[in-house]
Amino acid sequence: MWSVRKRVKQKRRIMVSLCAVAALLLAVVMRLSRGGTFFTCPLICSCTADTLSCTGHTESTARATSSTNNNLRLAHLPFTEVQSGTFRGLINVSRIEISQSDSIRKIRGEAFLSIYNLIEISILNIIHLSVIEKGAFTDLPRLRYLSICNTGIRHFPDFSRISSLGLDFFLEMGDNTQLNSIPANAFQGISKADTYMNLVRNGFTEIDSHAFNGTRLEKLILKDNWHLIKIHDDAFEGAEGPTLLDVSSTALHSLPIRGLREVKILIARSTPSLKTLPPLENFAELQEAELTYPSHCCAFHTWKRDNRETAVFGRFKNLTMLCNMANQADSMDPSGEDLNDINFHYPDLELCVSSSTFKCTPEPDAFNPCEDLLGHTFLRAITWIVTVFALVGNLSVLLVLLLSHQKLSVSRFLMCNLAFADLCMGFYLLLIALADYRSRQEYYNHATDWQTGMGCGVAGFLTVFASELSIYTLTMITLERWHTITHAMQMSRRLRLRHMVTMMAIGWGFSLLMALLPVVGVSSYTKVSICLPMDIETPVSQGYVVAVLVINVAAFLMVCSSYAGIYLSVRNPNVPTRHGDTRMAKRMAVLIFTDFLCMAPISFFAISAALHMPLITVSQSKILLILFYPINSLCNPFLYTIFTRAFRRDMCLLLSRCGCCHAQAEFYRSQGLSGVTLAPRKKSLRKSHSNQFRAYHIKLQGCFFNKAAT
């Protein structure tokens, strides 16, 4: 019994011991979480439970008893504040680092005071530090490096009392996500020497006017400030420099229009919002640029070249002769003293050899050459002419056909669809022409907005939709004419309006699908300035482009074969020959020729480019596309509708309702009336003809190209 009690007591003692150990471990973990366990008071400092003092007095006392290090590293400080005078008057300390503390909330004013040999201060990874009071850094004449990174400060620190006298100064501020802006005079008083600022990954949204006043900026790095939207135009007023400016990976929409004349290196990679540049005269000293868009490099190259030529031609009439002088001098014996000093005697020769000194990336590529949207004056003129005729012609056809009192037949229905498709092509050309007019001579400032914006997307959608619907409608018109003539004697087999509405609904669906695919990522309208889907970088995109071209070529071949069938049917040797056959043949030849002129060159060069074997450049393709691509939209309303007698009749009747063309309208009305009156007579006359002539007459009446039919 006694042994049992003894064992119970031993177990209780063991449990108590385990609990004590657990409590001790818990306390240790809690201390670790507060950052206090690893803090050891440095030899040159005096520490209490709540304060830290590292002054000249404590340093002198420590050095009298033992040797000390010139670097003072304070990690995991358990205090909530760094008090005023904490580091007052340290004598031999050159570097102070405060880091890895979860306790510090504030650094008081004059915390770093009169430390005459201090070269470097680092305040790192103190995420709960929210305030650095004014004057915290005071009288630090030899300070050359100040780093404040990964803190929670909400207001920009005060550097006005640092008064560094060093040859240069490096300021690093990074990962301070609570900082919203850089105020005016933020860096005044740091140093009068060259200053390098690395201000990265902060929460800046704007930089205020005169923010860098009073500084000599050598390098200013603002990259990875993802929320930085604006740098005030006067942000660099009162400052010298910078010579290097890096605004990569920011949300800037523009650069300041003043204060950038001394910039020699500009870096703006991965800055998609920076679509426009300030006046290029602001970059007089620029030698190297790393940008986001090729069009901006075009701007710089063009501006540099023009400035060079203007400067040289101001003194010399012949730039080629001047530069040839330099080349001849280089090819001669360089041992002569006079030749070695060629630039001294002809200082302007530097302009001849400086053309290759400017570097800019990304370079313009084959899809985005350095030119305006339309590039050539004659191309602009042709574009406006084609645009006006396409819009006026197709709009007239639509209005006359829709407002006419005539019954909506199959032919009229198809003509309305064709006119609408070609009208969309006219609107595409109008958008291109207006964009070119708006961006002339400075397309580099509009290229990105245009090609990535809604304007180019709408233009690209319109042109693909219009092209496919127009080709599809032309094919339907040709097939309908062929079917009508081939089955002229079989009235039951003639196409009705409801049949054609179904067929055209399929055509509209197909055209909309082809136009929408680039919008959802299959190819792209943003590849080139004229907004055509020329992106073939992926197999799907390449397949899309090739498929569209092959379908268009197949449609063209079907139209040609149908026209040939129509002509052969009418030219049947069993039917008496009439003069109308020749007229019909000529009109068919014109229609086929315009289709061929539109489709053949574009399809040939486009298919070769889609197969990664381009035969012409984008600049040359613009000429091809403007001259040939809209030919159908220009010619269709005239060849199919406006030049027909029926359209002239409907036009006169419509104008008569508006008070015009009364005489001609009465003439057409009387013809229609006489046609009705004489109908029985014509019917009786027809009975005397042979069945062959009756069939021939029906065929001509059904043919779309007959002068009296639409």
Which domain range does residue 117 map to? 79-313
0.85 cut: is pTM over it? no
Residue 179 pLDDT more than 60?
yes
Task: Note whether 347 and 430 are same-domain residues.
Answer: no
- Report the half-sphere exposure of 120 (CA within 13 A, side-chain side): 12
Query: Hey, what amino acid is at 337?
Result: E
Residues 260 and 282 sit within 8 Å (Cβ to Cβ): yes
Task: Note whether 278 and 403 are same-domain residues.
Answer: no
Q: How high is the pLDDT of residue 623?
A: 74
- Domain of residue 687, CATH code: 1.20.1070.10
Residue 467 pLDDT more than 80?
yes
Task: Note whether 490 and 444 are same-domain residues.
Answer: yes
Residue 91 is assigned to a structural domain of this protein: yes
Task: Note whether 555 and 591 are same-domain residues.
Answer: yes
Least confident of 59-73, 225-239, 250-264, 380-394: 59-73
Predicted confidence band at 480 (pLDDT cuts at 50, 70, 90)? confident
Residue 615 pLDDT more than 80?
no
Residue 62 is assigned to a structural domain of this protein: no
Q: How many residues does the chain have?
A: 710
Kindly report whether the peptide bond that precedes residue 78 is cis, defined as omega within 30 degrees of 0: no
Predicted confidence band at 602 (pLDDT cuts at 50, 70, 90)? low
**Structural domain tally of the chain?**
3
Average pLDDT of span 114-140: 92
Hey, how many other C-beta atoms are within 10 angstroms of the C-beta on 97?
16
Average pLDDT of span 588-611: 64
Average pLDDT of span 673-699: 39
Average pLDDT of span 375-381: 82
Average pLDDT of span 450-458: 88
Predicted confidence band at 185 (pLDDT cuts at 50, 70, 90)? very high
Residue 593 is assigned to a structural domain of this protein: yes
Residues 237-265: tens digit of each pLDDT: 999 989 999 999 999 999 999 999 999 99
Predicted confidence band at 584 (pLDDT cuts at 50, 70, 90)? low
Residue 158 is assigned to a structural domain of this protein: yes
Q: How high is the pLDDT of residue 343?
A: 41
Task: Note whether 526 and 439 are same-domain residues.
Answer: yes
Residue 503 is assigned to a structural domain of this protein: yes
Task: Note whether 502 and 577 are same-domain residues.
Answer: yes
- Domain of residue 282, CATH code: 3.80.10.10
Residue 360 is assigned to a structural domain of this protein: no
Task: Note whether 382 and 331 are same-domain residues.
Answer: no
Q: Which residue has the higher pLDDT, 67 or 438?
A: 438
Residue 341 pLDDT more than 90?
no
Cα→Cα distances 328→191, 324, 340, 342, 461, Å: 49, 6, 13, 11, 56
Q: State which of 313, 328, 343 marks the end of a domain.
A: 313
Task: Note whether 96 and 198 are same-domain residues.
Answer: yes
Task: Note whether 289 and 335 are same-domain residues.
Answer: no
Q: State which of 313, 331, 364 marks the end of a domain.
A: 313
Residue 607 pLDDT more than 80?
no
Predicted confidence band at 215 (pLDDT cuts at 50, 70, 90)? very high
Task: Note whether 246 and 293 are same-domain residues.
Answer: yes
Q: How high is the pLDDT of residue 364?
A: 76
Residue 668 is assigned to a structural domain of this protein: no
3-state secondary structure 495-518: CCHHHHHHHHHHHHHHHHHHHHHH
3-state secondary structure 557-578: HHHHHHHHHHHHHHCCCCCCCC
Residues 141-166: tens digit of each pLDDT: 999 999 999 999 999 999 999 989 88
Q: Which residue has the higher pLDDT, 408 or 150?
A: 150
Q: State which of 313, 332, 362 marks the end of a domain.
A: 313
595-601: Cβ within 8 A, 24+ apart: 595/474, 595/556, 595/559, 595/560, 595/632, 596/556, 596/560, 597/628, 597/631, 598/628, 598/629, 598/631, 598/632, 599/552, 599/553, 599/556, 600/556, 601/628
The mean of the pLDDT values for the chain is 76
Residue 18 is assigned to a structural domain of this protein: no
Q: Which residue has the higher pLDDT, 705 or 26?
A: 26
Take residue 622 and report the two structure tokens written for it: 């613009």
Task: Note whether 432 and 452 are same-domain residues.
Answer: yes
Task: Note whether 581 and 472 are same-domain residues.
Answer: yes
Q: How high is the pLDDT of residue 657?
A: 63
**Whole-angstrom distance, CA of residue 233 vs CA of residue 254:** 10
